Every structure is written in C-alpha cells, then in structure tokens.
Amino acid sequence: MSLPSDPALTLALFCRVVDNYGDIGICWRLARQLQREHGIVVTLWVDDLPSFRRICPEVDPSAALQQINGVTVRHWTTQDGEFTQADIADIVIEFFACDIPPGYIAAMAQCEPRPVWFNLEGLTAEAWVEGCHTLPSSHPRLPLTKHFFFPGFTAKTGGLMREAALDGERRQFQADATVMAAFLGQFGLTAQEMASTKISLFCYPHAPVAALFGAWQGGAQAITCLVPEGVATQAVDAFLGSASRPGAAATRGALTVRVLPFVPQPDYDRLLWACDLNFVRGEDSFVRAQWAGRPFIWHIYPQDENLHHKKLRAFLQRYAAGLDSLSALSLCWNGATQDEPDPAPLWPAFDAALPALHAHADEWQRQMLANGDLTSNLLNFAASLRSSRPG
C-alpha cells in the first residue's frame, strides 16, 4: 500500500508556536508539501496566527477556520475540547511533543481503524537519535500507540525536509545573474551592493552582532548585510543611527547594512540562495540554509543549562570536521566558548576559508540528498504501519 496514492487520506498536524517563526515555519512547509506532492488532505492546527502571518501573508489572524494553498488552517485554542470520530484524521502529527487536545486523543481511541500517530521531534545531530527514531510509545490508558519520528542527518533518521523541486529551482536561480539581480533589486540593493559580499543575518537578540559589524566595517572587503525587520534591532539601530525599518540602509566603512521586510517562505529561500554567507537561527532557517548550498552560521535556540551547546557541538562534529574557522566562529556566535567570546578576531580566518566552505556546502548537500526527504520518509513509514494493522 502506498500512502501518497490514496486520494482520501487525511492528516492533522498540531503546532504550538514556541520559537516565533521556526515551529510554524516547519509545520507550514510540511503541510504544503503533504498536500502538493502527495495529495494528502491536511488540517493544520496552530495556536499563534499572527506569527504565522509573518511568513504567510494570506493568513487571517482573526479566522478560526480558513483555507490557504489547499491546506485547512484552524486556530487552536484552549476551548478545543470536544471531538467526534468524524473529526479524526487518518494520520495525526504532534510537532515537538505539543500535547494535542485530550478530547482529540479520546476520539482517536474510538476510531476503527485507529489513526497513525506521530510525535515529530526537533532536529538534532546527537547520536542517540538513531536509536530512538520510529520507536513506539503506548498510551498509558487508551489503546493507542504513538511513534517518534526524528529528522536528522543520517540514513538511520527521517532525513531533512525538502520539496521535490527545491534543488532544481535553487540551481536555476543561482545560475541566472539577471534573475538574482532582479530579486535583490526589489529590496533596494544597488549594483555596488550586489557586487559586494552579501550576508543575510537572522539571529536571536543575544547574538554578538555589534562586534561582528565592527569587524566588517573596518575590513578591506565591501560587505552588504541584509537583516529582516525586527532582528538584532539594538545593533542595527546603533549602526543606522535611527530606528530600523524596512528599506532603511546605511554605509559605514566597508559595511552596508540594509533592513528587509519579513518575506514569505519562498522569498526567504531565494534570499539564502542569493547571499554568499547566511546567518540563520532555530530549526527552519537552519535546514533551509543547508539546502541553499552556501556557507552558514547557525544560531541555535537557547535552552536551560546550556543544553543547546551540546546540540551545537554534535552538529559541528558532523558538519564542520576539519573546518576549524567555521567551528570557532559558530561556537563564539552561540556563546559556547570562553576562549574567544568576541567574533571580530575570528572573522579574518573565517573569511579566508569561505571558498573552501562553499565547496563543503555543496558536498554536504549531496550527502543530505542521499537520505531522502523527511516528508516522503514519514509517509512511507506510516504506510508500513497502516498495512501491518489487522483487517
């Protein structure tokens, strides 16, 4: 049995927004890919519609129910408590252990056959993930089994999320200088800025942005830094000499900083493709940076007791083995080292390594492609679970 060929298959995806754009960014990409490429009837439950609207302008933040790009979007509130069997999808996904409504779970237990239930976990490069991927977990009271599904970087995980046409679209865009210039031109970039080293900057507020601006400003190489509105506002305001807003720009020394509006997801992909280096944060932009085929620095979502530093090091052990300048700047950017808390002294060595990092980004992408895409891998596993059920 092949799930993607079943036109009646339904799927419910539950998302609570913790990291403003990362959680909903991942779930929205997943929902669209399930609907577009696999013909699944998808309902996306999300608790924070205003954050959703920042990456998908079609969202009405006041609507309890709406249809967007073929996906049913429902506002998930604390009042969602009563459900019947007719409300339950064939496949139910809770993103990152978000605790779906108890009433929904109770109705799931009444269905026959019962739905396939997944906890889609967050991305990590830690070795233990391979042993936990696809493990079952029985409900303590109800006749239900949930399976854990982990994205990851090896064939023993679910892989990374990637649309079927993404690599071809990216290569075509990066090979066409005219198209790339037209894309950047809509944000006000001059020909001189387009010819400079272009860096996109998406980070959490505690990143040492001002120190890095100082290194770029005093360097010999022209750099244009493209920052979405609302990101690194303190450092950007200080550099601009005024409140940052979309369209604002200033040049000091070798550095030009330009503030961009928040853009829909497809345009954010193009921004990553158009830049020579990308600073990204969280999980969604982190994965998209890997598919961009460009060097990147990851700002990982902070966790208590600095658990995120362990996750960062696990990724760098896989991705940056032998690339000392990349590891050093990544650890510094995340406050994970006391050897050099200032990124400015690390920039020259990193900058000198950029050509090698470009080649490495291409090779890494080829390795990730070999693992398949997360959505197809998840559906194939769901198909195996459905086909093995009695009756």
Query: CA-to-CA distance for 114 and 83, rounded, in angstroms?
Result: 15
Query: CA-to-CA distance for 332 and 281, rounded, in angstroms?
Result: 14
Helix axes 324-333, 347-369, angle to 10 degrees: 100
* Token couple for 243: 């409140």
List the chain pLDDT tens, one digit each, 391 residues.
Answer: 344 445 579 999 999 987 667 789 999 999 999 999 999 999 999 999 999 998 899 999 999 999 999 999 999 997 767 899 999 999 999 998 888 999 999 999 999 999 999 999 999 999 999 999 999 999 999 999 999 999 999 999 999 999 999 999 999 999 999 999 999 999 999 999 999 999 999 999 999 999 999 999 999 999 999 999 999 999 999 999 999 999 999 999 999 999 999 899 999 999 999 999 999 998 999 999 999 999 999 999 988 888 899 999 999 999 999 999 999 999 999 999 876 689 999 999 999 999 999 999 999 999 999 999 999 999 999 999 988 765 4
Among candidate residues 19, 23, 47, 373, the one labeled active-site is 23
Q: Are 248 and 259 in contact (CB under 8 A)?
A: yes
Give Cα separations from 136 to 144, 203, 375 (angstroms): 10, 35, 19
Tokens 């406050």 — which residue? Answer: 335
Among candidate residues 19, 47, 269, 283, the one labeled active-site is 283
The answer to whether residue 112 is catalytic is no
- Kindly write down the DSSP assignment for every residue of 250-308, as one continuous string: EEETTEEEEEE----HHHHHHHHHH-SEEEEETTHHHHHHHHTTS-EEEEPPP-GGGHH
The answer to whether residue 23 is catalytic is yes
Helix/strand/coil percentages in the chain, nearest 5? 45, 20, 40
